[in-house]
Structure 1
């Protein structure tokens, strides 16, 4: 049994934060394909990696929600997967 459980309004707020963070990750991954500056692209990739860690932490907290709503495990796939920055 959980030591604590989120209140319904906390669960809703957390759900919204997870949705927003997921959309931000998807947008950052997509925008990397349009960025020509390598430094900016690397900064965006660091943001994506940190956001993924943040999402994992938020999902652990979300397990304490008082209702059952599965969080999808699929993540957007990067459109750039080589060092030259070729877009697929």
Structure 2
């Protein structure tokens, strides 16, 4: 896929989203240990999986953007 370089403000916004997702992931993992209800535990586990995938995608995009600057 041919991607255009990210503008500086886009890179900064993506970094903010990555930071936010990382905090959410940490919170979800911590709360998972406290949850007794199996249905809620399943939802949190799904959220952890989806958030982990989002973090990986954001990291890949930022890495690509950094490589384009070089």
* Fold shared, TM-score > 0.5 on shorter chain: yes
Which position in structure 1 is the counterpart of 2:60? 60
4+ runs deviating over 3 angstroms: 65-68
TM-score by length of 1: 0.68
Size of the aligned set, in residue pairs, is: 67
- What do residues 29-60 of structure 1 show as CA deviations (whole Å, max 9, x unaligned)? 00011111011011100100011111111111
Greater relative contact order (Cα < 8 A, sep 6+):
2
Q: CA RMSD in A?
A: 1.9
Q: Which moved more, 1:58-67 or 1:40-49?
A: 58-67
TM-score by length of 2: 0.83
Q: Which moved more, 1:3-12 or 1:29-38?
A: 3-12
The structure carrying a bigger helix percent of its residues is: 2
| Aligned pairs (5 A) from 1:44-59 | 44-59=44-59
Any stretches of 5+ residues in structure 2 without a counterpart? Answer: none
Question: How far apart in 2 are the matches of 1:3 and 1:57?
Answer: 14
Which position in structure 2 is the counterpart of 1:25? 25
